[in-house]
Structure 1
Amino acid sequence: MTVPDLPPLRDVIARHGLSASKALGQNFLYDAQLLDRIAAIPGDLRGKAVLEIGPGPGGLTRALLKAGARVTAIEMDRRCLPALAELSDVYPGMLRVVEGDAVKIEHSDLVGGEPFAVVANLPYNVGTALFVRWLGGEAWPPQWTSLTLMFQQEVAQRIVAQPGGSTYGRLAVLAQWRSAASLAMKVHRSAFTPPPKVMSAIVHVVPAVMPEGVSARMLERLTEAAFGQRRKMLRQSLKGVPGALQALETLGIDETRRAETLGVADYIALARELG
């Protein structure tokens, strides 16, 4: 595939009079080499469907199209639509832009039921909500084949955290109980325009085998209760979950422990015991 000769992203942004919106959690990336590295994390994307959330003026979108992906991009900032339309013209049939709020849109319908990878520099204000949504549901494996997502570094570390530390919590359990999550790349704040106040990092998640006899909803309920009161002992934080204290006893888990001391396997066993 011949890669079109595109004008620098800075020029496109200037020509359209764009600026990053703080209200929408926007921070623009200009570095083409960095964007190419991000697009390469999921592996070979030639001919594959990719969902991108919040493309903005299209920096990462360019890299995905250059990699041969068929991109569906959801953008709620209509100021960016003309710049994205120019990309659609350069890559005919390869880019579809949907105007709207990604939190309110059913993503699987947009890609026509085929498997898709999610690659996105997520707006900070909706990133965690979207991530939890992609990880949820009883149907598994999911329609997405991988998630390659930019988060604030603090959030990324919570996703890949191991038991016992202060960063280990609900996000880690939800990401790891039936998926493999890894920290793929750190991105310095200076790479963005305007620079955010925090460092960023990219998390890569691929589905794994779902443990048998475990309800995703029950696991979500357990982790929400346990980590919602993480400073309290399990006998206190889980007392509102029917049967949870008896399940702790059955499994030999000391009810005086705290949520961050239980491993992912412990939460799986508890959810299975509760049905």
Structure 2
Amino acid sequence: MTTFDGLPPLRDVIQTHGLVAKKSLGQNFLLDLNLTSKIARLAGDLTKCDVLEVGPGPGGLTRGLLAEGARKVLAVEKDSRAMGPLSEISDVYPGRLEVINADALDINPLEQLTAPVRIVSNLPYNVGTELLIRWLTPPTWPPYWASLTLMFQREVANRIVAKPGNKTYGRLAILSQWRTTPRLVLELPPEAFSPPPKVHSAVVHFEALEKPRFEADAKVLERIVAAGFNQRRKMLRASLKGVKPEIEDDLRAAGIKPTDRAEQVSLEGWCALAREIAKT
């Protein structure tokens, strides 16, 4: 069977290199090259961008990114078994693929990337949320990346795009929607992967805003949102009491009822509360 880049089908690559997915690494390989190419296209125009990819595995998405014209792909892969397949891709796209055998949580990729940068990944399930929060909460804003196109468990994707009043609305929605415009752009069934996970998956595309949607101190906002949603069944006057004893005054000044619960407060309301707390 021939493929668009002349490389073997992914099932053959996995068999040749003994790259059986490891649960301990959160691996579920997407083997359909048509789907990996579609995800690459959902990331936008890559022709003038460097792309950071975390967890490429056998390189299906990597191949899609390069075929779609990415100026350079920096692939960070913890599993040393994937170095062989990724090296073969590099040979087909000389000078455009750099591979780092490391844990993405332990490295700073900035030294290997040139702006503009897009991050596109089928994230390992066990580190996906942690990486997202890191990318959404850098020391300064705007961040080094222009967009994120990331695959998560569908449950996590739903939490990212959730609106106030929804039971899935929480910290991830606030952090994502404050500084980016996140959109759920693709859903995938378990059978699209090898091995099939027990859950459905979804791709979310985030466009970074030049400045946050509403003014607020990032650390204060993160603190109150975490406190509010950690005890989401409680009224805010109780869940936020540890933040500030006189929290009811700040809640009222921000236009929030002290008897409201965290999921009832809009992003704008949380930011208004963060500004009130920051005054003192």
TM-score by length of 2: 0.94
Q: 1:244 to 1:95 in 2, by over 3 A?
A: farther
Aligned: 1:131 with 2:137: no
**Identity in percent:** 54
User: What is the aligned partner in structure 1 of residue 276 from structure 2?
Assistant: 273
After TM superposition, list the pairs within 5 Å mapping 1:117-266 onto structure 2: 117-208=118-209, 209-211=211-213, 213-242=215-244, 244-266=247-269
Aligned residue type for 1:72: L
After TM superposition, list the pairs within 5 Å mapping 1:92-131 onto structure 2: 92-112=94-114, 114-131=115-132
Q: 1:244 to 1:132 in 2, by over 3 A?
A: farther
Aligned residue type for 2:229: F
Aligned residue type for 1:247: D
CA distance in 2, matches of 1:63, 1:147: 16
Query: Does the 8 Å CA contact 1:234/1:255 hold for their aligned counterparts?
Result: yes
CA distance in 1, matches of 2:112, 2:212: 25
Q: CA deviation at 1:251?
A: 2.1
Query: Does the 8 Å CA contact 2:136/2:175 hold for their aligned counterparts?
Result: yes
Aligned residue type for 1:258: R
CA distance in 1, matches of 2:112, 2:275: 34
Q: CA deviation at 1:13?
A: 1.1
Q: CA deviation at 1:222?
A: 1.0
Query: Does the 8 Å CA contact 2:178/2:214 hold for their aligned counterparts?
Result: no
CA distance in 1, matches of 2:255, 2:59: 53
Moved more, 103-112 or 186-195: 103-112
TM-score by length of 1: 0.95
CA distance in 2, matches of 1:152, 1:215: 30
CA distance in 1, matches of 2:90, 2:96: 7
- Give 3-state SS (helix, strand or coil) of 1:18's partner: coil
User: What is the aligned partner in structure 1 of residue 86 from structure 2?
Assistant: 84
CA distance in 1, matches of 2:221, 2:139: 11
Describe the superposition over 1:224-274 as per-residue Cα deviations: whole angstroms up to 9, x where unpaired: 000010011101111111364331022231111100000111011111222
Aligned residue type for 2:212: M
CA distance in 1, matches of 2:43, 2:61: 13
Aligned residue type for 2:169: Y
Describe the superposition over 1:131-166 as per-residue Cα deviations: whole angstroms up to 9, x where unpaired: 011000341111111000000000000000000011
Q: 1:138 to 1:247 in 2, by over 3 A?
A: farther
**Deviant stretches of 4+, over 2 Å:** 107-110, 242-246
Describe the superposition over 1:99-140 as per-residue Cα deviations: whole angstroms up to 9, x where unpaired: 11101111323315x231000000000000000110003411
Q: 1:174 to 1:212 in 2, by over 3 A?
A: closer
May I ask how many residue pairs the two structures share in their alignment?
A: 272
CA distance in 2, matches of 1:35, 1:85: 18
User: What is the aligned partner in structure 1 of residue 34 from structure 2?
Assistant: 33
CA RMSD after TM alignment: 1.3
Structure 1 unaligned residues grouped into runs of 5+: none
Query: Does the 8 Å CA contact 2:214/2:271 hold for their aligned counterparts?
Result: no
